[in-house]
Amino acid sequence: MEFEFWWLLALPVFFGMGWVAARVDLKSLLSESRALPTSYFRGLNFMLNDQPDKAIESFLQVAKENPQTVELQFALGSLFRRRGEVDRAIRMHQDLMNREDLPPEERRKASFELAEDYFKAGLLDHAEEVLTKLAEVDPTPSVHRNLLDIYIQEKDWAKAIEAAKKLEVSAKRNYQKEIANYYCELAITEQIHGRKEGADAYLDRALESNRKCVRANLLRGEWRSRDGDHAGAIEAWKKVEEQDPAYLGLAAEGMVESFKALGKLTEGLTLLRGLQHRYPGLDLLNVVYQATAEAEGDEAAWRLVREEVRRNPTLVGLDRLIDAELLRAPPERRQDLQLMKNLVHSHAQALSVYLCGTCGFKARQFFWQCPACGGWETFPPRRTAELDTAGRHLARMQIGQ
């Protein structure tokens, strides 16, 4: 690169421009600093010295002396809510709402923050009232999502369905899985009150919303079985295979009881063994094992579980195999087998849990709605031990390819 003489002339010009810009910024900064009250700097000092309570009082003084500091009032309101001082947050946001000179966008924000305060305080009716009015002028996803949260907490499933449908439009996201579960909740309420036709109609609506809604067919099978319609119950449970065969373990026990009631246990065992062979699962295996032991004896049950563990080796499956071995073992071997059983069982129990795929919450029983994060159908119907085995099996297949 050759040196150009004009660069020497340009350097003083660039230097002068930088000096002017710095002077302008400095003057602006000094002007803004003089405009701020001393309470503001006192508050900053308290914050820097880790004295949040005194800092808040100083900032409150700034807000009183300078009503135009809207952003500071918003920040204080949010801080109060996070600290659990919801009453102070409510007053702060109500004061903002009462200001006649507040711009429309700031008023919308104050309404939303006030609804958040009410929700945090457990005043769901107040929060719903504010959000409902806000939704008329501001149908954004955040407003609809908060309304949906309120209806779920209140278990007002009819309103939850309407809110979810509006949220689908505003958020441009499919909520049919959630809507189907809300219909299932309505069906359960109808069933509890003895309104069987209403319950059945809501299950139909659930399947219309989401044809993969396994929960609807599981409920229908359970209720038909309870009413003595065992053929209808089995028909409903069989549909689970078409929707998601991973859930068959949740239907297996009911299917065995209905086949027994119809005097067709052999036919039922043949069906369930075929399903277990095609869609291996620990819950399904446990049911088939118990039913085989009762119908055909311990030896048949042992052969069944031995073949299954060979096909799909899991610690939980090994635990079940040792159970079968104990039943057929001679007395002199039972002490050693029992010791082995105790060791394996303790580890198998630790793995035999359901795991929420969203938040990682662990549970011994299956939930349609996670108790921790509130998500719907976030629990895979397989326990962690099975998921680990499935992952290793998939890895082996990929390596083989």
Distance CA 86, CA 20 (A): 48
Those residues whose C-beta lies under 8 Å from the C-beta of residue 300, and which sit 6 or more positions away, are: 292, 293
Nearest Cα to 151, choosing from 139, 134, 164? 164
> Hey, what amino acid is at 244?
D
356 is in an annotated binding site: yes
Instruction: Match 């000179």 to its residue by tokens.
Output: 101
In a 10 Å sphere around its CB, with 0-12 CB exposed, 13-18 middle and 19+ buried, how is residue 62 labelled?
A: buried
Instruction: Match 């119908």 to its residue by tokens.
Output: 295
Task: Report CA 249 to chain centroid distance, whole Å.
Answer: 22
Instruction: Match 């087998």 to its residue by tokens.
Output: 337
> Hey, what amino acid is at 315?
L
Distance CA 175, CA 284 (A): 30
Distance CA 158, CA 154 (A): 11
373 is in an annotated binding site: yes
Instruction: Match 């305080």 to its residue by tokens.
Output: 121
Do 293 and 261 touch, CB atoms closer than 8 A? no
As annotated, the binding site includes 356, 359, 370, 373
As annotated, the binding site for Fe cation includes 356, 359, 370, 373
